[in-house]
Structure 1
C-alpha cells in the first residue's frame, strides 16, 4: 500500500512538472510574440538606389514581408511565424498570388496570301488600353492601339512563326508567338502596374535571434547578420 502511494505521488509530481513546462513554454512564446509585434525595416545599398526589407509581425502569429526598391515593390510574402528556442521561423503559407498578364485567342484560315492579326488590349479590370504598342521587334513593324484598344497587323503568309510584343508604359511588356499561316483574333489582358513584384510562397526561412528588444530585431542567417529597426 505504501509503495502504491509513493508511485501515485511520483506520477503527480511528473504531471505537475509537465504542466509547468508547458505553461512556461506558452508564456515565453506569447511574451516573445508580444515583444516582436510591430513593423521593422532594414535598408542597404546607396540611399537612392538601395533596397529596404520591411517586416510586419502581428500578435496572432501572422507576418508580412516585402522588399522595396527604387521603382517600387520587388517581392512580397505573407505567412505564419513562430519563435522556437532562439530562432525565428517564417512560413510563407498565406501569400496571395497576383495574376500575370495573359491572352485569349481564336484562329482561322483562308486562301489569302497574307494573314491578319487583330489584337485588342485590356487591363485586368477589363478597361480598354489605347496607345499601346503591338509590334514585331525583328521586322521593326507594329501598330498602336486605337481608342477601342485595337491594333491590326498584317504579315505575309509563310511557314514559321513571329514573336509579338505588347508594350505599355503603364503595365510593361507582354510577348507571345504566332503561327504565320493563321489569322488571329487576340485579347490581351495586362497586369496593372509596371513593376511586377515576385511572390514568395511555400517557403520556410529560419533565422537565429541575436537580439530582440523594443527598438530592434537582430537576426542571423548563415554568416549574414541583419539589424531591423522597429518603427514607432
Structure 2
C-alpha cells in the first residue's frame, strides 16, 4: 500500500467514525429526551441501569467523534509521532468503550423483555402493568414507550458494534505507522511504502555506470570474438 492509498484509507475510516459517533449521540439524546428523563425519577435498580448505559452511550459517541477527527488530521500529517500515538490510544479506548456500551445496551434490552417494561412505566400509576391507558399523571404515551425504547436501543446497539469494528481498524492503521511488534509482526512494517517515481525506473544508456542499478538489469554479455 502506497502512502497516498494509506492516507485515503485512514481518512475514510476517520470519516466513518465521525458519522457513526454523531448518529449514536443523536440516538442516545432521543432516548433520554423521550424516555429516560421520566424513568430516572423513579428509584429503581433497572431504571438506574438504563440511565448508566445511556450516559455510557453518550460518552462513547463523544470519544468516537474525537477519534475520527484525530484520524482525519493524522491522514494529513503522517510523520507526526504524537498524532500517531494519539490515534492509536484513542482508537483502542474507543473500541473498548463501544464494546462495553454494546454489552450494556444488550443487557438493557434483555432486562426490558424480562421485566415486561415495568421500569419504563414506573412514572405512571396503573393498577396493573398489563393495562395500558392514558392517565393524567403519566408524562408520556405508555402504549408506545415500550416499542420506542426497544427500537432506539436496537439502533444504538448496531451502531456501537460498528463503532467497535471501525475503531479496531483505525487502531490497526495507527499500529502500522508506529511499527509495533506484538500484534501483526514484522510483515506489516513494510506495508506503507512511498510510491516509486517513473523516472527512477527509466534505464540509462548502456555506457552509464548506473545503467544496471537504475534499470534493475545486468549489463549485456559480450558473445562475439574477443576484441
The structure richer in strand per residue is 1
Structure with bigger helix share is 2
| TM-score normalised by length of structure 2 | 0.21
Q: What's the TM-score once normalised by structure 1's chain length?
A: 0.21
Q: Which has the higher contact order (CA 8 A, sep 6+)?
A: 2
